[in-house]
Structure 1
C-alpha cells in the first residue's frame, strides 16, 4: 500500500526563492491569549480546527497515539473529508512511534502528512537525535494561530499524573497571523502565494518595537542557515533594556556566555531577575547542567526557583511590564544551535501582566528557592565530573557539527499493507 506520507530530511529553508530568507516585522492590532497547559490549549485548538473552512497547517515535535492524539486525528480527518486542505508536518524522532494504521487513516482521508528527517531504528533504538523540527505551530484559515511549547500528547494534561508537564502557548488573532501562516506554508514546502490578508515581511526588522501601543507581535525563528541566533539575540536585546523586572521560565537552561552575562548584568544594575527551572526534570542531565550555572548567577542577585510539582516544559519569558516571549525554544545547545524553533515576541501590557501573575504564583506556591549563599559540597565531583559535563554541554553543537550534514529531499515512501 502506498501511504501519502512525505519524508523531509533537511535543515535548509524550502527551495522556493520567495521563501528562502523570511524576516517578519512587528504587527500591531493583535489579540493575544495565554493558554496554560493542555486544559486551556487543546479545547481552543480543536475548536478552531473543527470550524476550519479552507486550511489547517500544523507543525509539532510530538504526536502520540493517546487520547489527545486520537482526538486530533479524528478532527483532521473530518476536516479533510469536508474539503479543508490539511497539512501536518511531524518530526521523525518525536513522532517516530506512530503506527502505519494511524498514518494510513490520515492519508486515506486526504491529510498531507510530512515527516521531518525520519530514520530507521538501529537495534530497536531511534538514533536520529539531533537537528529536530521542534516547532509547535497551528494556523487555521489564515485567521487564527497557535504557537508555544505544547505538543499533541496527553502528558500535557493534569490527569496524566505526576509526570504531566507544565507548559504555555498563545492564541493569536489579528495581522500577525498572516506572518505565521506565510511561515508555516513556506516551511511545509507548499507554494507561497500572496493573497488579500496574507502579508510577507522581507525586511530585517529591529528587535525592539518602539511603539507605545499594545497588541504588537513579531514572529522569530531559528534555522541552520540565515537565522541561527535570532531567538537568542532577542533575549539578549530585551535583557539589555530591562529596567525593573525579568522572569525566565525555561525547561532546559544552559545558554551561551553572552546570554548568561546579560542575565547577570541586568541583576547587577538592580533589575529583579527571576529564573524558574526544573526541579523534577524528565532529563536528569538538564538539571545537573543548569545547576552548574547557579553560583555564577546567584552571587550577583539573580533569584533562582526550581519548580518541584511536576516537570516544567515551558519556554516563556517577560521583561518589565510589556515585553514577553512564548514559543518552542529552550535555552540550551539543542534549541539555540541545532533545532528548528519558533517563538513570538509580544509587546502588550495586559498579556505581560497575565504571564507575570501565572509565573509568580508558580514560583510562590510550587517552587523551592535556591539560597543566595549555598554551602559548597561535593567539591571534588564539581571540579572533575562537573567540569567535564559543563564543557561537553557547552561545545555540544560544535561536536554534532562534525556529523554528516542533512541533504534536502522530499519523496513519498512505500509502506506495507499491514500494520506494524
Structure 2
C-alpha cells in the first residue's frame, strides 16, 4: 500500500451502470430482494420521475420488516417532500440529514464539507458506488426537464468491498445520530448509541461474495481526517504510471497544480491524454473556474472534448486500458479538499475496456473537441467571468481554511 492508498483485492463481481435508466432498475431490484438491511447515502434525493421508484422500493422493504436507513446531504437535499416523509415514517424507513446549513449557509466555515458520496449496500452482499444521485436522468432541480439524459455512471459491486462500504455507512449513521442527540443535550444517550452501534458492527460478519478472482478492486473513501488525499493520490499514481493512454470524464474539472503537472508530463512523454468535460453551462463557479487551466493542457497536447447533448455528471477514468475508477469525486477543490467522497478503483481489462468504449463514443459522437486556437480567441467577457469564478472559488476555500495546490 503506497501513501495510504488501499491495495487492490481480488474476488469482485463488477457491473457498470450508465445513467439512472440502468442504475435505478438494478438498485430497485436489489432493494426488492433485500431480506434484512438496506443502507443508502446520496447527495440529492429528488422525488421526481423515475427517482420515485427508488423511494417506493425503500418503502416496500421497510414494510416487510427490512431495516432501511437513508442519509441525504443537507445542502444537496434541503427538503424532503412532506407526503413522501409521511409514507416513509409510516412504513418505518429511518432517514437522516447530514449537516443542514445554518442561517448563514455556505458562508460559515465547515459548511462546504458536504456528504457527496453515493453509496448503497443491500444485506451486506451487494453494493453500489458511483456518481449518480437519486435523480431522474431527464430532470434537473435547477434547469427543469432535459432533452437528453444526464451522462453519469455507477457501479454494482459484489465481493469484499461490500463489507467496507457497509462499515463506513454504519459509522456515518452513528455519527449523525450521536450529533443529533448531543444537540439535544442527551450526552449519555448519544454515547450509549455509539457503543451499541459499535457492538452491532462487531457482531455482524458478512460473508464475501464469490466472483471472478481476476477483478481486483479497492474502495477509496475521502474524508477530512485520515483520508484527506487518498483519491487525488490514486489519480496521481495512475497518471504517473501511464504509458499509452489516459481518458478522464469529469463533471467539474478544476485540477490543482499537482494534477495539472501530472497530466502535462504524461502528454509530453507521449501518452495520449483525453478529457471529456462539461460542455453545457450548469453552475457559474464550476463552469467558468475550470476554463483558465485549459490553456496549459492544450499547449501540452492534451485533448479536451466538451460533452454536448446534456449535462455531464460523470466522475470516471481509464488508464492504459486496465486501471479504471468510478465514483463521486470531481477533480476540483470542493471534492478533493472538502467533501466526503467514495470511488472504486478497478484493475480489470474487460471492465476498463467497457468503460473506455463508452467514453470514446461520447468523445467522438457526443462531444466537440476544443482547439487551442479557438480557446485563445475567447472574448474578454468570458475571460472576465473566468477570473470572477476563480476568485469566488478562492474566497470560498479561504473561508473554509483551505488552499489548493
User: CA 1:27 to 1:381, structure 2 compared with 1: closer, same or farther past 3 Å?
Assistant: same
Q: Partner of 1:334: helix, strand, or coil?
A: helix
Shift in Å at residue 372 of structure 1? Answer: 3.6
Aligned residue for 2:125? 143
Q: Partner of 2:47: helix, strand, or coil?
A: coil
My pick for the range that moved more, 238-247 or 371-380, is 371-380
User: CA 1:259 to 1:44, structure 2 compared with 1: closer, same or farther past 3 Å?
Assistant: same
Superposed counterparts of 1:208-287, under 5 Å: 214-287=214-287
CA contact (8 A) 2:107 2:399 kept: no
Aligned residue for 1:187? 172
CA contact (8 A) 1:38 1:156 kept: no
Aligned residue for 2:187? none
Rounded to whole Å, the distance in 2 between the matches of 1:247 and 1:378 is 25
Q: Partner of 2:137: helix, strand, or coil?
A: helix
Aligned residue for 1:207? none
CA contact (8 A) 2:285 2:390 kept: no
Rounded to whole Å, the distance in 2 between the matches of 1:37 and 1:267 is 30
Q: Partner of 2:376: helix, strand, or coil?
A: coil
Rounded to whole Å, the distance in 2 between the matches of 1:230 and 1:247 is 20
CA contact (8 A) 2:138 2:147 kept: no
Shift in Å at residue 284 of structure 1? Answer: 3.4
Hey, which of these two has a bigger chunk of helix by percent? 2
CA contact (8 A) 1:243 1:320 kept: yes
CA contact (8 A) 1:301 1:372 kept: no
Aligned residue for 2:353? 353
For each residue in 1:231-285, what CA deviation from the matched residue of structure 2 results, as whole angstroms up to 9, or x when unmatched? Answer: 1111111100000100010000001110111011111100000001111131133
Shift in Å at residue 120 of structure 1? Answer: 6.0
Shift in Å at residue 311 of structure 1? Answer: 0.6
For each residue in 1:24-44, what CA deviation from the matched residue of structure 2 results, as whole angstroms up to 9, or x when unmatched? Answer: 542211111110111110000
Find the partner of 1:61 among 15, 21, 43. 43
CA contact (8 A) 2:47 2:55 kept: no
User: CA 1:23 to 1:115, structure 2 compared with 1: closer, same or farther past 3 Å?
Assistant: farther
For each residue in 1:78-108, what CA deviation from the matched residue of structure 2 results, as whole angstroms up to 9, or x when unmatched? Answer: 1112111111111111121212332232122
User: CA 1:291 to 1:269, structure 2 compared with 1: closer, same or farther past 3 Å?
Assistant: same
1:197 correspondence with 2:179:
no
Aligned residue for 1:170? 155
User: CA 1:156 to 1:162, structure 2 compared with 1: closer, same or farther past 3 Å?
Assistant: closer
User: CA 1:394 to 1:350, structure 2 compared with 1: closer, same or farther past 3 Å?
Assistant: farther
Rounded to whole Å, the distance in 2 between the matches of 1:385 and 1:322 is 38
For each residue in 1:101-124, what CA deviation from the matched residue of structure 2 results, as whole angstroms up to 9, or x when unmatched? Answer: 3223212222111110124667xx
Shift in Å at residue 380 of structure 1? Answer: 5.4
Aligned residue for 1:91? 73
Q: Partner of 1:293: helix, strand, or coil?
A: helix
Aligned residue for 1:130? 112
Shift in Å at residue 377 of structure 1? Answer: 3.1
Which one scores higher on RCO, CA 8 angstroms, separation ≥ 6? 1
1:106 correspondence with 2:60:
no
Shift in Å at residue 67 of structure 1? Answer: 2.9
User: CA 1:362 to 1:100, structure 2 compared with 1: closer, same or farther past 3 Å?
Assistant: same
Q: Partner of 1:93: helix, strand, or coil?
A: coil
User: CA 1:353 to 1:378, structure 2 compared with 1: closer, same or farther past 3 Å?
Assistant: closer
RMSD of Structure 2 on Structure 1 (CA): 2.6
Aligned residue for 1:411? none
Can you give the 5+ residue segments of structure 2 that lack an aligned partner in the other structure? 175-196
User: CA 1:324 to 1:65, structure 2 compared with 1: closer, same or farther past 3 Å?
Assistant: same
CA contact (8 A) 1:121 1:127 kept: no
Aligned residue for 2:194? none
My pick for the range that moved more, 77-86 or 23-32, is 23-32
1:44 correspondence with 2:26:
yes
1:72 correspondence with 2:32:
no
For each residue in 1:199-242, what CA deviation from the matched residue of structure 2 results, as whole angstroms up to 9, or x when unmatched? Answer: 8xxxxxxxxxxxxx731110011111121111111111110000
Shift in Å at residue 286 of structure 1? Answer: 2.2
Rounded to whole Å, the distance in 1 between the matches of 2:380 and 2:107 is 34
User: CA 1:48 to 1:382, structure 2 compared with 1: closer, same or farther past 3 Å?
Assistant: closer
Rounded to whole Å, the distance in 1 between the matches of 2:314 and 2:378 is 30
1:31 correspondence with 2:13:
yes
For each residue in 1:356-390, what CA deviation from the matched residue of structure 2 results, as whole angstroms up to 9, or x when unmatched? Answer: 00000000001110114336335755776644543
Shift in Å at residue 166 of structure 1? Answer: 0.8
Rounded to whole Å, the distance in 2 between the matches of 1:227 and 1:395 is 24
CA contact (8 A) 2:217 2:346 kept: yes
Shift in Å at residue 198 of structure 1? Answer: 5.7
